[in-house]
Structure 1
Amino acid sequence: MRARSVFGLLRLGAAAICLVALIHRLSWGLASNTIASENFFAYLTNQSNIAFVVLLVVGGVIALRRAQDPRWLTIAFALVLSWTITAGIVFAVMVWQGGERGIRIDVPWSDQILHFWLPACTIAAWALAPGHRSVPWRVVPLTLAYPLAWGAFTMWRGPLIGWYPYYFLDPRQVSGPVEFLTFSGIALIVFAAVAAVLVLISRMPTRRRWRDDQSAGA
């Protein structure tokens, strides 16, 4: 079996795992009967992982049919992976900060998959998978468009329902505008940094030669 075919099947398998984790996380949260669970789809993590499932299915089918991904798919993967990986990093920091503040944050197996295991596997796949194209540097600023739009909507909606998906966005849980802007600025920097690393990996000479050899042998 060609490397691309194997990779296509792996993409479809990852989509199934991600979907199962999302469904479990939704059902697990709803069982707690909290407003956070009722707002499952308001989390950036969940929104980006839903987009990730769709991309994995599309990418898996394309990998089974073509020797190389179209450029739009590679760019889309770079954007979505930047969001999911950053969400995992931010979640890890939140769990740590929650412990420091004496706030209990439960992490079910579905959260572990969505925030830690899938991002780690996708980084490895990004570096090693056959058929990827190089990503233009303009992807880095484009990566910020979604979190900025999501953040603006969240800050508009938060006061209306009295709830925010992440504590550092809630004016009641931060010391003031300085802390809010600091945490928000750090999050945006991480988004951009993750995107830059993904772009850099895609443009590495050794990565391109390996990709070209795989495509030629397919």
Structure 2
Amino acid sequence: MTLPETPASSRRVIALLRAALALVVLAAVAYQIIDRVRHNFFAPGEYFAYFTIQSMLMCVVVLAVGGHLAWRTTRDTKLFTIVRVSVLSYAVIACAVYNVLLRDLPSVPGYAWPVWPNEVLHVWAPILLVLDWALSPGRRALRLRASLWALLYPVAWLVFTMVRGAITGWWPYPFLNPNGVNGIMGVIVYVVGIALVIWLIAFLGLLLAKIRTRQLPSVVSTPDKVSA
């Protein structure tokens, strides 16, 4: 069945909600920066090197683009679907790693991260992104192997982080420090485990999109051919 030329009202509601979430995430990042500047603790090269910060800034872009597509079109593009599920997997893994490994660690001497931005970036934004993916109409059904694209950015980030850490001695997360208590083998275990979880999140996201698309009679259910 041919899709309608104008987006359904539900797509336009989603567009507004995505715009609102993008503004909240951007406000949380801005508040953190302002707070660190106020306490003379802002080092841009370190702050913007955090995986969470980079992934949340990507979320802002994806939410903005996704809001535009939802307002103007009936379906997302293939490229946007791949980018969106990838960024979703980064947000979810940031949430999981923070709450499992980092939440109870002592603050850096002389500075404590402000609470509400931390909760937005590490808890509420990831949860809302998952709900957006699960409930929003207009996703494309892609081949599941397209989930492998989600590993591209984390691998690049990891290579940069490890090289930089070896040169400067600064590590954004303690479990990446090969000189820590777990040694290089501990780093390898964490990295491989996190990479597998990122891929699994993207895989499950595309699987859900495929299932949901097939359940909608108004959307063509044949998956688009996107190779990994």
Q: TM-score range by the shorter chain?
A: 0.7 to 0.9
**C-alpha distance 68-61 of structure 1, shift in aligned 2 (>3 A):** same
Among candidates 112, 115, 119, match of residue 122 of structure 2: 115
The gaps in structure 2 that reach 5 residues or longer are: 1-7, 221-228
Q: CA deviation at 1:214?
A: 8.6
Going by fraction, where is helix more abundant, 1 or 2?
1
Give the TM-score of the pair, scaled to structure 1. Answer: 0.86
| 1:183 alignment partner AA | Y
Q: 1:64 aligns with which of 71, 92, 104?
A: 71
Which residue of 2 is the match for residue 189 of structure 1? 196
Q: Which residue does the alignment assign to 2:224?
A: none
Q: Work out whether 1:163 is the aligned partner of 2:138.
A: no
Contact 1:74–1:133 (CA under 8 A) maintained in structure 2: yes
Aligned pair partner of 1:208 in 209, 213, 218: 213
Q: How far did residue 34 of structure 1 move? A: 4.3
Residue of structure 2 equivalent to 1:173: 180
- Counterpart selection for 2:11 from 4, 27, 49: 4
The runs of 5 or more residues in structure 1 that have no matched partner are none
Taking only aligned residues, the RMSD between alpha carbons, in angstroms, comes to: 2.3
* Larger displacement relative to structure 2 (147-156 or 31-40): 31-40
Is 1:73 matched with 2:85? no
Paired residues in the alignment total 209
Identity level (%):
33
Q: CA deviation at 1:30?
A: 3.6
State the TM-score, normalized to the length of structure 2.
0.83
Given that 1:131 and 1:211 are in contact with CA atoms closer than 8 Å, whether structure 2 keeps it comes out as: no
What is the CA distance between 1:175 and its match in structure 2? 2.7
Which of 140, 149, 173 is 1:142 aligned to? 149
Distance between the aligned counterparts of 1:139 and 1:157, measured in 2? 30
